Amino acid sequence: MTRRAIELEGLHQTLELSKATAVRTNKNMIHLDQLDDGTWRLIWNANMIPNFTNLTALKIIRDD
- The pLDDT of residue 2 is above 90: no
The count of domains in the chain is 1
Specify the DSSP class assigned to residue 24: -
Does some domain include residue 24? yes
Residue 36 Cα distances to 28, 48, 59, angstroms: 26, 27, 26
The pLDDT score that the predictor gives to residue 37 is 97
Tens-place pLDDT, residues 6-59: 999 889 999 999 999 999 999 999 999 999 999 999 999 999 888 888 888 888
The answer to the question of residue 63 being in a domain is no
Q: What is the pLDDT of residue 3?
A: 87
* In the predicted structure, residue 1 carries a pLDDT above the cut 80: no
In a domain, 34, yes or no: yes
Residue 25 lies in a domain: yes
Residue 61 lies in a domain: no
Residue 58 placed within a domain = no
pTM exceeds cut of 0.85:
no
Tell me whether residue 39 is in a domain: yes
Residue 14 lies in a domain: yes
Range of the domain at 14: 5-51
Distance CA 42, CA 26 (A): 18
What is the reported pLDDT for 11?
A: 92
